[in-house]
Structure 1
Amino acid sequence: MASTLISSLAVVLPLTLLAPSMSMKISRIDVLGYICNNGTVSNEEAYRRSYQINLDAIRGDMRHVKFGTHEYGDPPERMYVLSQCVSDLSSDECSLCWSRATDLLSQCFPATGGWFHLDGCFVRADNYSFYQEPVSHQDTKICASDKEKSAEFKGLVKEVTKSIVEAAPYSRGFSVAKMGIRDLTVYGLGVCWRTLNDELCKLCLADGALSVTSCLPSKEGFALNAGCYLRYSNYTFYNERGLLAMSFTKENLTYIFVISMVGVLAIAAGFWCGKCFYMRTSPKKKIKEKESESICTESHLMSFEYSTLKKATNNFNESCKLGVGGYGEVFKGTLSDGREIAIKRLHVSGKKPRDEIHNEIDVISRCQHKNLVRLLGCCFTNMNSFIVYEFLANTSLDHILFNPEKKKELDWKKRRTIILGTAEGLEYLHETCKIIHRDIKASNILLDLKYKPKISDFGLAKFYPEGGKDIPASSLSPSSIAGTLGYMAPEYISKGRLSNKIDAYSFGVLVLEITSGFRNNKFRSDNSLETLVTQVWKCFASNKMEEMIDKDMGEDTDKQEVKRVMQIGLLCTQESPQLRPTMSKVIQMVSSTDIVLPTPTKPPFLHDSIFFQQLPLPFEMEFGTGNGYSNGNGYTNGNGHTNGNGNYNGNGHVNGNGKANGAKVVKMKPMDSELLREQGHIMVDFIADYYKNLQDSPQDFPVLSQVQPGYLRDMLPDSAPERPESLKELLDDVSKKIMPGITHWQSPSYFAYYASSTSVAGFLGEMLNAGLSVVGFTWLTSPAATELEIIVLDWLAKLLQLPDHFLSTGKGNGGGVIQGTGCEAVLVVVLAARDRILKKVGKTLLPQLVVYGSDQTHSSFRKACLIGGIHEENIRLLKTDSSTNYGMPPESLEEAISHDLAKGFIPFFICATVGTTSSAAVDPLVPLGNIAKKYGIWLHVDAAYAGNACICPEYRKFIDGIENADSFNMNAHKWLFANQTCSPLWVKDRYSLIDALKTNPEYLEFKVKVSHVHHFVTNIKEPSIYIEDLKKRYHIHVSKKDTVVNYKDWQISLSRRFRSLKLWMVLRLYGSENLRNFIRDHVNLAKHFEDYVAQDPSFEVVTTRYFSLVCFRLAPVDGDEDQCNERNRELLAAVNSTGKIFISHTALSGKFVLRFAVGAPLTEEKHVTEAWQIIQKHASKFTRNDHY
């Protein structure tokens, strides 16, 4: 059906739009352009049903406000729909245009959606939330075939479009413009979809203006963008009468009346006097009335007659009153057609109430969601203002939840629906509308007949900047801080910090009220200072949460689920806003029990011991417009401020710097051996417990940290303590504040990047290194540090069967050095190779130097080249593909070198990889080495990951050809358990490094007696030359048989740690055979996972596995790669959001590929099996049913 539509429209469009005769002017319901998506849905019938439900939901909105959005269905086939008419259309014209557009769009299915631009309206449907998209790659333009020969036409078009771009974003997203010279006139119209904010609207129209001006000298141009529509023409195409009706005001009527009566002097004089008297007595009142009256029109809302509302409520009879708020009453009304409405009557007697009315109308008219109360219209009189809403039969949540009898109607299923629906409404406000509600509480949650919630009362709502950044406190006056005590977040009360996390806090309080049945502000326990939030947290901490569950929910309540949701409520009420989950995350956690919940940290004010009323606030408190309460819950603020300098926050702070319970200040002794012994035991126990808990209680340690950026800032003081604190306090902070922000690389369920593996031996080596704390930048500064490094690297080189010329004791000038990382290793050899070639060709030819790698080479290679002064355009990254299993193709390399030589470039460096980061691909070293040797190019082999495996004889083949390499590095901290920063590098010629990196300031000059120098290097070919060179280079006296190494000249930094200690301890405490077997175990575990993938027809293994990395993905359906990539992205996000495992991804030949890397020291077969079960479970949501 979609193909039929496409072919028919392909014929219609040229006839209607590009006709050579401008007499064929297009209709407002003519199709300008359309898109039907490439991807398809698995269940067309259900998708069409979702489409119809969405249309039914917004049908009324389209007639009344000419705009609507709605979404329905379950991911990944949840449907989102947006429709909007151009503002100059009448309601009937809008309905006609919308009806045609929606009919046409329905013919796109089973595609995932599409859009239709008609001249008078727009409709779009898709399976993701596109409401904030201003532009897309599918944007298009249409240019008429008729040309305008006049030279002035081009300038007029540019002025008209510029005017629209500047005006529309600040005129409710709509503007028209007209400019002319003599008999030549240009007309323009621009409209943005109302989901865009001002900035995005301007961006969209600016893009549209560029598009249409490129049509010139065409007489007409159309820009059809994802978020807007812009058009210019040489004739009046918009409805001027409709626009006139929109802008017609009382001022116009008064003016016409005065002019029509100008002939009757006496009446005119009387009218004039009366008008003058009225304006003198109440000029402000007149302005306010006009302001209020215009807001309905500006918001495209229905303007109700006062008489209609009066009749609907039986003259606002008390029997119709539903409740009383801060600025007026709410009545139930019944219109003449039988529809029930809710009418909020507000007594406008000051600036704040009037501002809140306007704010509420402005906010809610932009937002349309199933969990937000729907605004129908408004009415303004001299004395009162009225806002008209849809009526919800079960009124507000507080009337039921806190009524001892009515609350029994709310079983757990209904309460869960209320919690989830409220979260979805807040998610829409935060993510789509960029709005903070500021007054979430039970009285502002309305319930329909089926107890589905709708958020109401937007009087305090506030827009916030793109990107979700906090609104700075400086932008809020003290009187701007508003809300209901008990629901207000501490950072907002104390510092005025405004972000969507204050709604998260209020929502958390609401969740605890719904699950417990208690009102937070009226909760009472044995401790009169207790609040519901603090009491629930104490019950959670003591494993007594069940005591807080509302018994009125019934005996068959799933108490485990209720406790889980209460824990989510505690996560939302944590003291640090960064630790509170977003509403999107809340929805995931409530909806899926697969997600491991973090342990909540304590809520604010847990240990406060004074009443709130006794504390001076830093501002004048303003209460919300609902049913908020203030009864002294001990709420102070986020930092416990009691005055300008003092703190009282439960940690014993009583003044600016002092601590009531802090340690006594004594003369400091930084390295006390007995204190080290005592606290060292405590620290070792702490670390050992951490590793034990990673295995025994994985649910307490989500593998991928779940915190938000900046979470730690509000959890720690603004300045360092003046007095010492205890180690116990510090470790307590590590557990509660640092651990939530840790991604647990050592978890047995960590399968993301190549592991940075640790071990007892490596840990002890780090401890010994830290204890000795030597700085071995030269031999003299710590001879053992230098000499042990030389010995250990020779040991490791022999395990790897490296050529003799790489050993310090070998035949030649080679040797090894431990760099901090593989990135540092690549950098120093690039610098060495660069200087070696520049000595031959001259420094002026630096711009001609060229390097080679593949598109799989680690990104540190590019960074190293840029640091070394190699031009970006001289970095050749050769394309790889599946035919070589993503290894570098030698023929492509030689072809590139020959081409560069012919162009006058100087090839000087090749970076080959054994075990690439993306897919563990292996570059063929033998042919690459032959090419390097042929052209005299430095060949470096980066084996950061897979080099470790080459200590096993069966994997040594992967570095065959290493004899032709100039340098080789691996990371012993990746798979040899040497902990962090241990990257051995071997070079064939140490002097290449030394010449590039040497520094000899005066303070490093020293002389060494021969008897103090250990003999390391033998078999020097020309010892006399070598010794003289040493004397010159290092200012030392040596004999012919004695040499020293100063590692400062083998690396970037001067200072260096005693890294060889941990590698030495690993090799000695484990032995090489144990290390080989451990690597083999990991490779077997990866094979185990690969077998799981291969046996499931929904998945495919993407690359040949060599080591312990498996590259796999959900297989494409019907060859649709775009859909396949999207499904794998969603699968990755779903799996990692559980917190139970962590995997990563890469891109190979345009494919989005999942990576499963085994390498953590605690990983066993059961962890691999569990990981596969989690992946398979979540994959079932993204695959067709017939795959399982």
Structure 2
Amino acid sequence: MDSAALNRDGKDMLEYIAKFWDTLRERKPLHNVTPGYLTAPGVLPDRPPDEPEELKDVLADIDKYIMPGMTQWNHPHFFAYFPSSCSYPSIVADMLCSAVACIGFTWNSSPACTELEIVMMNWLGRLIQLPEVFLNTPTGRGGGIIQGTASEATLVALLAARSKKLDQIDPKKEFLGLIDKLVCYTSELAHSSVERASLIAHVKIKQLPTDSSYSVRGEVLQQAINEDRRNGLIPFYMVATIGTTSVCSYDNLKELGEVCAKENLWLHIDAAYAGNSIICPEYRYLIDGVELADSYNFNPHKWMMTNFDCSAMWFKDCHLVANAFNVDPLYLQHKHDNEVIDFRHLQIPLGRRFRSLKLWFGFRLLGVKALQENIRTQIALAKEFEKMVRGDRQYEIIGEVTMGLVCFRLKDTNAMNEALVKEINDVDRRIHLVPGEVDGTYFLRMAIASTKTTVEDVVFGWKVIQECVQNVKNNNIANGKPITNGVH
């Protein structure tokens, strides 16, 4: 390690990052490049340099080649997807993580990496008032771990649930023909990662219909289980969502939990986005019924000013998960095996980064109150935007606005709303948002995603949307298309 070069280039890099954040408003929220812009012949060299170059030359190329191809997720006019949060404590924590360069797959490979994660997951678990059974305690079987993403968490829980069910049916572990009969359940509005997990695990999946509030109810799950059992299938796993991607709706945890307990199904809760709000006591009611779950997950990297990747997951019984993943070669064993948890048993990969540093730095350098205030502020901004939409009879709101997401549409055809999204993203480009679709109804999603977004930015976004609507209508008139006002 050349410490002199690190000091010199590190300072320059920090200055570059600080300037990037200070000038973020001067950039566009959405890139304006086409596929192949960087891989085309002659843009970048065909092979790496044989001799070292200067950082100033690398930074110049970042400005020339990389930044034009970046979608700026923390731009104050980025209203797409859900947040990808960041803060200076998280950045400097990642610097330390990279510097110590540990691979914490066992306690012995870096005790601090394991034990700080245990402490941080307990801090976070107590902050959201999780039942004690989910926390890391000397005598309990539960515990928390930081996964990379909610997609990983869903897959880990599914594989653990599959292992548990197969062991119950066939302790000899022959499993002849059993896996083909396994079936899991989730909402029709659940994230696509649930379906993907079922494909990886080679199990059937049923996507359950929702009620008028876009919520899966216990009765619907019970009916599906009864039908599948009559058809010779084996129900084993349910994924409930707190804050669906499309409309930020909430499945009924109490009802689903009671059915899962009665029918011996593993209940996993995916609260990737909305779960962050639970650090504010007034939103704790959203996970009433979590005590009935077997695993629970949300992503601090979405809304807790912690950069990617940091996905918090808790189990009621870590032993069930370890049993599903237990491969124990001699070179990974150590003398404290029976005294501490090795996180390699609770995840898909073997290696793992020192992710808990980001939570520790964030809690200590920002404090819980600042994290709560950020969430409350963004929800308040969404409520302001909702008022603007409701104040114009051209539009309607889809679903209920409870978090930092507002789903809305023109009271017009799906084609008209699709044209509006294209006008905003492909033509105007002053703001960026993405669409959604539920029950055949196409709509726009306005997500408050940046810590830099203010009420003035929300007003600006609404102004841009109205101007884009007028442009679309003018284009339709110019092209001889009728202007309609009926709801599709």
Q: Offset of 1:786 from its aligned partner?
A: 0.3
Partner Cα separation in structure 1 for residue 139 and residue 132 of structure 2 = 6
Which of the numbers 13, 17, 24 marks the counterpart of 1:687?
Answer: 17
Q: Offset of 1:743 from its aligned partner?
A: 0.5
Q: 1:19-418 counterparts in 2 under 5 A?
A: none
- Equivalent in the alignment of 1:792: 120
Query: Is 1:673 paired with 2:3?
Result: yes
In the alignment, is the contact (CA less than 8 A) between 2:121 and 2:145 conserved in 1?
A: yes
Name the SS of the counterpart of 2:366 in structure 1.
Answer: helix
Query: Is 1:832 paired with 2:167?
Result: no
Name the SS of the counterpart of 1:1181 in structure 2.
Answer: helix
Q: Offset of 1:1105 from its aligned partner?
A: 1.1
Q: Offset of 1:1070 from its aligned partner?
A: 1.4
In the alignment, is the contact (CA less than 8 A) between 2:299 and 2:311 conserved in 1?
A: yes
- Equivalent in the alignment of 1:1101: 397
Q: 1:344-493 counterparts in 2 under 5 A?
A: none
In the alignment, is the contact (CA less than 8 A) between 1:804 and 1:810 conserved in 2?
A: no
Name the SS of the counterpart of 2:239 in structure 1.
Answer: strand
Query: Is 1:1166 paired with 2:469?
Result: no
Which of the numbers 253, 257, 260 marks the counterpart of 1:925?
Answer: 253
In the alignment, is the contact (CA less than 8 A) between 1:825 and 1:985 conserved in 2?
A: yes
In the alignment, is the contact (CA less than 8 A) between 2:270 and 2:296 conserved in 1?
A: yes
Partner Cα separation in structure 1 for residue 138 and residue 423 of structure 2 = 53
- What are the Cα deviations for residues 1137-1160 of structure 1, in whole angstroms up to 9, with x where unaligned? 222111001111101110011121
Q: 1:1096-1175 counterparts in 2 under 5 A?
A: 1096-1116=392-412, 1124-1137=413-426, 1138-1175=428-465
- Equivalent in the alignment of 1:709: 35
- What are the Cα deviations for residues 1097-1143 of structure 1, in whole angstroms up to 9, with x where unaligned? 11111111111100001112xxxxxxx11111110011112221110
In the alignment, is the contact (CA less than 8 A) between 2:423 and 2:472 conserved in 1?
A: no
- Equivalent in the alignment of 2:351: 1055
- Equivalent in the alignment of 1:989: 317
- Equivalent in the alignment of 2:198: 865
**AA of the residue aligned to 2:68:** P
Query: Is 1:850 paired with 2:183?
Result: yes
Partner Cα separation in structure 2 for residue 965 and residue 804 of structure 1 = 13
- Equivalent in the alignment of 1:1019: none
Name the SS of the counterpart of 1:968 in structure 2.
Answer: strand
Q: Offset of 1:810 from its aligned partner?
A: 7.3
Q: Offset of 1:1062 from its aligned partner?
A: 0.5
Q: Offset of 1:1002 from its aligned partner?
A: 1.9
Partner Cα separation in structure 2 for residue 932 and residue 1003 of structure 1 = 39
Partner Cα separation in structure 1 for residue 257 and residue 333 of structure 2 = 40
- What are the Cα deviations for residues 373-426 of structure 1, in whole angstroms up to 9, with x where unaligned? xxxxxxxxxxxxxxxxxxxxxxxxxxxxxxxxxxxxxxxxxxxxxxxxxxxxxx
- Equivalent in the alignment of 2:208: 878
Query: Is 1:1077 paired with 2:405?
Result: no
- Equivalent in the alignment of 1:934: 262
Partner Cα separation in structure 2 for residue 1186 and residue 887 of structure 1 = 31
- Equivalent in the alignment of 2:479: none
- Equivalent in the alignment of 2:478: none
Q: Offset of 1:813 from its aligned partner?
A: 0.3
Partner Cα separation in structure 2 for residue 856 and residue 1103 of structure 1 = 13
**AA of the residue aligned to 1:1113:** R
**AA of the residue aligned to 2:12:** I
Partner Cα separation in structure 1 for residue 277 and residue 139 of structure 2 = 26
Name the SS of the counterpart of 1:910 in structure 2.
Answer: strand
Q: 1:711-726 counterparts in 2 under 5 A?
A: 711-714=37-40, 715-726=43-54
Partner Cα separation in structure 2 for residue 812 and residue 723 of structure 1 = 55
- Equivalent in the alignment of 2:329: 1001
Query: Is 1:771 paired with 2:99?
Result: yes
In the alignment, is the contact (CA less than 8 A) between 1:818 and 1:984 conserved in 2?
A: yes
Name the SS of the counterpart of 2:396 in structure 1.
Answer: strand
Q: Offset of 1:889 from its aligned partner?
A: 2.7
Name the SS of the counterpart of 1:893 in structure 2.
Answer: helix
- What are the Cα deviations for residues 888-909 of structure 1, in whole angstroms up to 9, with x where unaligned? 1322111101111122211100
Of the two, which has the highest radius of gyration?
A: 1
**TM-score, normalised via structure 2 length:** 0.94
In the alignment, is the contact (CA less than 8 A) between 1:941 and 1:967 conserved in 2?
A: yes
Name the SS of the counterpart of 2:236 in structure 1.
Answer: strand
Partner Cα separation in structure 2 for residue 765 and residue 1170 of structure 1 = 34
**AA of the residue aligned to 1:828:** V
Partner Cα separation in structure 1 for residue 265 and residue 395 of structure 2 = 42
Name the SS of the counterpart of 1:747 in structure 2.
Answer: coil
In the alignment, is the contact (CA less than 8 A) between 2:80 and 2:449 conserved in 1?
A: no
Partner Cα separation in structure 2 for residue 768 and residue 1112 of structure 1 = 43
Partner Cα separation in structure 1 for residue 252 and residue 220 of structure 2 = 12
In the alignment, is the contact (CA less than 8 A) between 1:759 and 1:1161 conserved in 2?
A: no
Partner Cα separation in structure 1 for residue 139 and residue 415 of structure 2 = 55
In the alignment, is the contact (CA less than 8 A) between 2:73 and 2:449 conserved in 1?
A: no
Q: 1:454-853 counterparts in 2 under 5 A?
A: 671-695=1-25, 697=26, 701-714=27-40, 715-809=43-137, 812-842=140-170, 843-844=175-176, 845-853=178-186
**TM-score, normalised via structure 1 length:** 0.39
- Equivalent in the alignment of 1:1178: 468
- What are the Cα deviations for residues 542-591 of structure 1, in whole angstroms up to 9, with x where unaligned? xxxxxxxxxxxxxxxxxxxxxxxxxxxxxxxxxxxxxxxxxxxxxxxxxx
- Equivalent in the alignment of 2:477: none
Name the SS of the counterpart of 1:1155 in structure 2.
Answer: strand
The number of residue pairs the alignment matches comes to 469
Partner Cα separation in structure 1 for residue 52 and residue 484 of structure 2 = 65
Name the SS of the counterpart of 1:1100 in structure 2.
Answer: strand
Partner Cα separation in structure 2 for residue 862 and residue 1186 of structure 1 = 37
Partner Cα separation in structure 1 for residue 418 and residue 245 of structure 2 = 19
Q: Offset of 1:880 from its aligned partner?
A: 2.3
In the alignment, is the contact (CA less than 8 A) between 2:241 and 2:270 conserved in 1?
A: yes
Partner Cα separation in structure 2 for residue 762 and residue 721 of structure 1 = 32
Partner Cα separation in structure 2 for residue 986 and residue 914 of structure 1 = 15
Q: Offset of 1:984 from its aligned partner?
A: 0.7
Which of the numbers 925, 942, 951 marks the counterpart of 2:279?
Answer: 951
Q: Offset of 1:1186 from its aligned partner?
A: 11
Q: Offset of 1:783 from its aligned partner?
A: 0.4
Identity across the alignment (%): 43
Q: Which runs of 5+ in 2 are unaligned?
A: 474-481
In the alignment, is the contact (CA less than 8 A) between 2:29 and 2:71 conserved in 1?
A: yes
In the alignment, is the contact (CA less than 8 A) between 1:805 and 1:811 conserved in 2?
A: no
**AA of the residue aligned to 2:192:** S
